Structure 1
């Protein structure tokens, strides 16, 4: 183990009240199947954090657990000072968290605009300004406002899914494999879009298969292995750590 990785593992965790999102000693899974074993994770206000690791490491389970989509088995999830460990997704969305799953993340039979309106379903009235803000961020959606979501390309669907999650102006955006299935020439554009969302003040917690590019862009990264924390550090530090590169980034 490299000195950098050792420091990452042994670093003291901040008090949960100091983080926008603080996950402490989290055990979670699906039914009787435990996937996460004592996971710790933090996201500061406005921070960009990436979770990487091998297939089956529990990366997506962390995201789903924060959004109340797994079986809670122990530990603590604190968001903006409130314990949300055992809340339902329909309650969590009111707290200021948006979630974009990897697949099945648009309503295919609805138009682009109708999908965005669904993103604000908890409001009495859909703010027109929010829709226009999404169109400003993703101009192609504005051009296809009346088009059925099921006819969009893969990249356009991801933009729509993110746009819908942004309709409530969340403090934290959870992104599960946003580049999955995209053509190589569209991956960089997708990352640029996410950079822009974060630059405008929205904290991002992202699981990503393109680990090298994700770590290059983020503030901090976590490496999960078999449902447990293995390393945590600044994105560039993890990217340049020889052991992390050899074991998890393909050299």
Structure 2
């Protein structure tokens, strides 16, 4: 039977210390969506010009014409850096999974460092943002452990399906300059950030508070391994 993240961390001594996350690291990942929400809420409040949170994207808040654009840029850098850190740390995941997550984090960082101009649009910003959106959408399908080949859990397929629907809705709003563009973008981003948080929680390093399962007896490990959790 395929191993779960918890079981993978417990049964491999090398991964137990280098491939899983500490409680503090899990907390950082879990707080990333909250801090990003705080960033775009605060940035919207300090704008000197009228800003429509429903229709306008967060790129406007980080753009060159925004008031205190560093607030939104800092939130994006934090989110992107979090996923780059996850890609480096989660060695229990396959190289492909970590590469997709790293691409998402890099896209967010580049989008923050290449803000939209006052007039027109930045191809670098839009390309980097699109890379991040797509990578985070398909990442649940790639989030595999270093184990033998295993069937793709329905949960991950369902998560990806929901994200694909939201991504398509967002791109339709973007193409038509829709009235709900900003709201759909925020919903998409928070939905995309939920699954990395879920994975980080399940890959918590044993021995920290909150790791509730007992380490199974080595001779009966196969009986104690639960169903895949990512």
State the structure with more CA Rg: 2
The answer, yes or no, to whether TM exceeds 0.5 is: no
Structure with the larger RCO, 1 or 2 (CA within 8 Å, 6+ apart): 2
TM-score, normalization by structure 1: 0.28
- Higher helix residue share: 2
TM-score, normalization by structure 2: 0.30
- Higher strand residue share: 1
